[in-house]
Each structure stands twice: as C-alpha cells, then as structure tokens.
Structure 1
Amino acid sequence: MGGSLTFAEADDRLWQEYEQLAARSYGHRIEDLTLLRERADFRVGLKDGKVVAGGMGLLVPQYFGGSAVLSACLGAGCVAPEERGGRLAYHMVNERVRALQEQGAVLSTVWTSSNGYARHMGWEAVTRVFAWSVATDDLKNSFPSESAEIDIAHGLCDEARDMQRALAGQWNGAVQRPHWWSEWKTQKSNLTWYRFSRAKQTVGLLSFAMAKRHPRGTNIVVYDFWAADQDVATSMLAFLGRNNSRAESVQFRRAALPPYPTLLHHLHRHRLTADAWHPWMLRILDARQAIRLRGWPKDLEMELPIEIELPDRHSASRRVLKMSGGAAELEPSQREATVSLTRGQFAVWYAGGYRSASSARMSGVRSTCDKALASLIRATTDHEPWLADHF
C-alpha cells in the first residue's frame, strides 16, 4: 500500500499495463479498451512507476432540453485488487474527471453498481433502469403485421444516423453519437441493423444480436430501438415478433427500450418480464455552464433564488436561476433561497428525473413555496430522461 502516487495520460506502454490490470481486476478482458484506444481519454495511476489504477473517458455531448451539452462519460475504471481500500479509486476518478473537464466537459455520467460510492463523489441516479423480456409469440400475437406504408431494409446509412440523432434530442441524457459510435457498438456486440422507412424517409432504426439460449435455441437481444412515432414502433415490434420460429424471446437490453407505453398498451397477454439494473448517474461539473448550455421551455419565465450544496457537503452556494425565452443563467446571489437542493438533487432535476413537485419533495428537495418548486420542476419535464447507450 506504500509508495508515491502519480497520475498520467496513458501512452502505449502505460495503456498496455492498464489493459492487463483491467483484465486482472475484472476477471476478463475489457474489449472496449482496444476498440476505443484512438477515441477515448485513458488515465492511469502509478505507484513507483507501476500502473495500479486506471480508467477510460469519452468526451461526448449528451442532450438535455434538446441541446447538446459536453459530458465526461466514464467507463472501465479499475484499481489493482492489492491496492483497494486506500481511497485510490477516489483519487483516480477525480483525476479522470479533471482531465476531461479541462477539455470542456461540464457534466459527467457513469454507469456503475457502486451507487453509494458514486453518490458520495457527487453523482446521482436520474431514473430507474430496466431490461425487458417478452416472448416472440406474444409479440407476434399482439403486433400481427407491420404498416403497409413502412419498408424495411438491412443495414445502416447516413440518413438513419441523422434520424437517430434527431430522436435522441427528444430525451434528456441521450448521447449525441459521434460518427464512429455505431461502428464501435456493431463490432463489439456483433449487431445487425435494420432501418424502417416511410415515403423513402428513414423513420425507425433497430439493432440486435442473436444470443444462444440454454440448453438450445436462440434469443434476440435488442440494443437500439428508435422510432419516430407509434406506427413505426408497432411495426418494429411486429418485425421482431416474426422471428418467433427462430427465437423464443426478445430481450431488450438494459435501457434499450424507450420509456413509453407501447408494449403496455398493446400486449394481449401481459407476460413481460422486467429485470432492474444499476442506473446511470449524473454529476454537474460546472453548474453555471450546464445551465447556460441546456435547452429550456421558451414559454417559461422565472427568477428563482436557489441554494446548492457545495462539494464539501458542509456549505452551500446561493444562486438565482433566471430563465426567459428558452435561455437561462445561474448567477451568484445573497437572496434567501426559495428552493434548496443537494448537488445530487440538482443533477436529477437538471435531467428531468423529478416528474412532479411531489417526487422532488420525497427526494428531500426543500422549498418554502410550493408554486416556486412546481415551476422549477416544470422547467425540466418537457423531456424525459433516457440513456440507451452504455460505456
């Protein structure tokens, strides 16, 4: 446990050591480290010149309120098993975030099962995350046929990528995928893509992989489900149901199925199975810039004194949130706060995770005025939180 600790951006030698450490730490090889070698920011922690910790970061925009906000998306973090318990993970994560913040990130997102640890460092879970499984026979019976107006074609194209980005902007947290994103996911998970078109315009995008089922047979595992409207969504589900002769079930990978009620309102027999997964968590790195860059309702006018807990957890910062004409600013203030939030609650609110003032209160958000709290919540509920991508 002794020795001096330093941090560095991983060159080829350090990256190879980190890759070996990650395989030892996780118990298996982490394929993303190779696939994203030229795309991601790799940082390592060293003791006496030896790599003992590391992590990967993707600097990509995420949509909030319809606007793209640059985010530090963290993945593949690890600490050597013999070095655990000495707060090395805490220092390594801070170094990874610092490096990406210097490159422009104002937010940070993680998928992690260590929710308490991430929460201690300022991240908070925005929404519940589920994986869903439904029998292909049930899909076929509930969605018997595709719309005659919709054509189906195999493969990706630039128009389909553009459509996916446009639909992603309708959700809070969805990644604005760079040009290489789909190729990375296809290579990693052996995905097959189908696009759905109406009047020669792409209106739906579906990707899935075939997984072996024990002791025999296969299941379909859906990774992407992007539909422009309900008619397209039902056609995509009908298409999946027509695989019933080859696959017993369709499994929507965690968060792959958008949080709208198409299945709920159409299944003839509701035998849908849900598995809860660890959630994605959001942290605001620069509150002022995050507010400025986000999209806001154009019809909402507001000047609200708020208080946000500072990272040391023993003090708070008074601000005034000013909103007008679809733009907003967060400025220092000495006024008594009407609404008080922890930094985690601020992140959840920012992402639209509180769908009502009641849910915010039950999370511990404090307010001296019910109307002010309701207005604050309304500011972020135009879009629901949904992050389908994993990293």
Structure 2
Amino acid sequence: MSPHRTRGTRGHFRFDRVFAGVGRINTSSGTSNAQEFRRRDGILMKLFDSAQIEVLQAFQQGAISIEQLVDADRAGRLRTAELLSDLALRENLWAAIERTLPSMGKSGETRRRYYTSLKKLRERTRLGADAKVSDLTRVPWKVLSANWGESAADWNHMRRAVSTFLTTLLGDVYHPFRRSVMKQIQTADEGTGREPDISVKRFLEIVSHVPPHARPCYWVLALTGMRTGEYLRCTKADLDSGAHTVSVPGTKTGASRAKVEVDAQMWGWIEAGIPSPLRYGWMRRYFKRAAEKIGQKDLRLHDLRHFMAQLASNAGAPTALIQAALRHRDPGMTRRYEMRKGKGEVARLVGRALRSEAGS
C-alpha cells in the first residue's frame, strides 16, 4: 500500500492509497515537503488502523480536509470515537450548509424551502462568514424569535431546516449537539391554522375568472385535497380510471403515499388536469388574480385543500374519514373543520331560541 508520491502543478505530493471498506484515496496532501508528506500519509494509516472508516470516507469525498486531520492529530483526537462529529462541528457553518443541502429532504421543493429558511437565518444572526457549526449554540434564539418579523409558520420552517441540517451533517438525530441546539429553538405557536371561507359559489366564481386551459388545475385540487407539490408530481400513471382513484406521490408524511378516490361524475376534471397543464408559478398567479377580482385577495392556493375538507364536513362526513382523505397524521388537524361546522350549528340554535322568545 505504498503511495505514489507524484507532484502536481503546485508541487504538492499526492496520496494514492487503497483502503478496505473505503476504496482508493487519490488526492493532494497539501504539502510539497517530503517529511511533512510522510507525516500526513501516516495520519491516514492511523485512521485505518483505528477503524475510522467513516472518517476516511468523508476525507475521500472531500467533506473534511487534510488540514483538519492534521489539527486533530496534534490535539490527540485522531483515535477518538467522536472524531467525525467533532470535525463536523469545527467546520465552517455556511460551507457545511452548502455541502449538506443536496442531501436534505426528499424533494427539490423541500430543499428549496430549507435553502430559503437557512438563508434567512444567515441574514438575521450575527454569526459572521467565519462561523463554525458549533457556533449555533451561541445564537440568542429567544431574542431572534422575538425579532424574526415573520409568521410563526416561517419560524418553524427555519427550525425544521436547522434540525434537518444537523441530523444530516452529524448522521444522528439523537446527537447531543443537535439536541442541545434544538432545545434552545422553541417551536412557535401557529394557532389552529387558517380557516378560509370558500363556498361552492365562491369557488366557481374564482374558476370562472381563470383562463379555460388552467381551470382543470383548481378542480383537481378541490376534488382530491392534494397539496400543490403532490399534484404537480402526478402523472397519467397515477390515475386509475376504472376505480376513479389517484395515487398521491406525496412525501410529507408516510400516509401521503395513498390513493384518493374521486366522484365518478367529476372524473373528467381529473383526466383533464393530470398532469398539470401549469407550473406552480402560473397556477398561483392565475388563482390570486381571480381571487382579487371577486374581492378575496387574502385567499391562497393551498386554501383549496381546506375547501375540500370543509365541504366534506358540512355534508356530514365523520372527522376520521376526512382525516383519511387528507392524509393527516394528527386528528386535531382535521377536527377543526368539524368544530367550524359545530360553531355554525350553535349559532343557528341560539338564533332560533332568541327568535322564539322574541316572538312569544
């Protein structure tokens, strides 16, 4: 396993070794001094002899540098069980985020959301360009939360992004450092969620104000209760015209990978709208324009998911069935539709009693 000590364009010696369980490591040693090269080559051997296979793999992939290994050797940390996570915590925070982001989340949409949240975190903390991952414990999270300036949901998005970043970087959801940081970042109260008021009449008005070629999109969302990301991933292969079901290519929850049944008489909208004739940007733009035209500028595209659930609740569907249709993991997320219907029933009963007394 003797290395071939060849000089590169900068005069640096190169490692060239093959390790069992790792494969070939062929990269610059970062030094042109023969004695220093032998010392650095010896570091790789120390790692192999102490079964630090994951560390060697990380070095092979460029996740850690030879300089970091040299520092660890000087500090006597080379053979410790915590070496890999210790090196990760000493890495530049922003470089680590950039390197880790492609492995975070199951979809491009989720990764874009993580990117946006972590970008906001960089802009709003006082951590400089040289911040280390370990510096996340120095962030005054309570103060940052009080001055975040955006919704509770936005704060929770950022919290999830930090959590996923640390889990991915450290390879352990129970890592003490990750748990220490997450304990400091309190979850914001998002309340009971939005309860948009969309009647069937209002929905039809909105649809009438969008271009004809775009209308199937909104019908599909209303009929299935799918999230927009799920809908946009649907293809003809997800349709079963015989059973009138749509296989949902969801990734948000385990239950999201389910089949949604659609009323047979409305199936034509499903076939016309899957795959979606629009990208998300135009789908949202048309919806917002139409909502503004009928004086409902606060309505959001995601509200069509609530619309489907509210229609079902108003028609008498049990909460358990609505929960199954929406693929909610928590029954409480679905029960609000039943509660909203209940409030309306209470109002009608109170009104009836008052009218009865007033008329007597």
RCO higher in 1 or 2 (8 Å CA, sep ≥ 6)?
1
| TM-score normalised per structure 2 | 0.28
Rg larger for: 2
| TM-score normalised per structure 1 | 0.26
